[in-house]
Amino acid sequence: MSLWSRIADAISALAKGESLATVFDHLRTPPERTVAFTIAVIALGAKMAKADGRVTRDEVAAFREVFTIPPAEEANAARVFDLARQDVAGFEEYAHRIRRMFKETDGAICDLMEGLFFIALADGAYHPAEDAFLSRVAEIFGLTGRQFRTLRARFVPDAHPDPYTVLGVDPSDDLDTIRAAWRAEVRESHPDRMQARGVPEEAVKLAEKRLIAVNAAWEAISAERGR
């Protein structure tokens, strides 16, 4: 059974009334853990979208940048979106279930949040309702306010993003501390590290956007301090 078939079947089971606990108990270990990650991004992302009952071009385009959807699987991928827009489960319950699944790996939670930010911005805009939604999901996931602001600064368009917020450091930190934080982010973005966290191979593409943001932040701080 293909990845998208498993994803569609899992969400279909939820739509038919099967409990989150039952469905996700089957998705705790690889390779099903990869399925769970993808379901989380799609279903929570769909909860942010307008409930218009259709798959938008922006959403499809955004997922095509992150997840590989073979032509033969397009029908299953569209079915996943449509099912996710139904009342599969309250997003808070869904987020709690995902948090328990990934509680051993904080990095996977941040990867998942990056996927959600990417989908939220698929239409080129970031609305207050989306910010409130993602803030609540981040809270359930156990992220601190600072971690959430750091992720948001990396993905949400801003004329002048604060480089310190992007790197998750304080302006009062010395350059060596900031350099260490930058290097840590670069290491965490390595494909091998991301795949070890149970992230789908395709979703590693999100690391490219993270690297652009953190490298730009480091360059800005370095220039500001004259080094």
Place of tokens 């949400």: 156
List the chain domain ranges. Answer: 3-224
Q: Tell me the pLDDT tens digit for each residue of 91-126.
A: 787 788 778 776 655 577 887 788 788 877 777 778
pLDDT higher than threshold 90 for residue 3: no
Closest CA to 80 of 149, 7, 158, 165: 7
Q: Tell me the pLDDT tens digit for each residue of 122-151.
A: 777 788 888 888 899 899 989 988 889 888
Q: Retrieve residue 47's tokens.
A: 């909860």
Separation between Cα atoms, residue 57 and residue 59, nearest integer Å: 5
Q: Tell me the pLDDT tens digit for each residue of 157-202.
A: 775 778 999 899 999 999 999 999 999 989 888 777 776 766 666 5
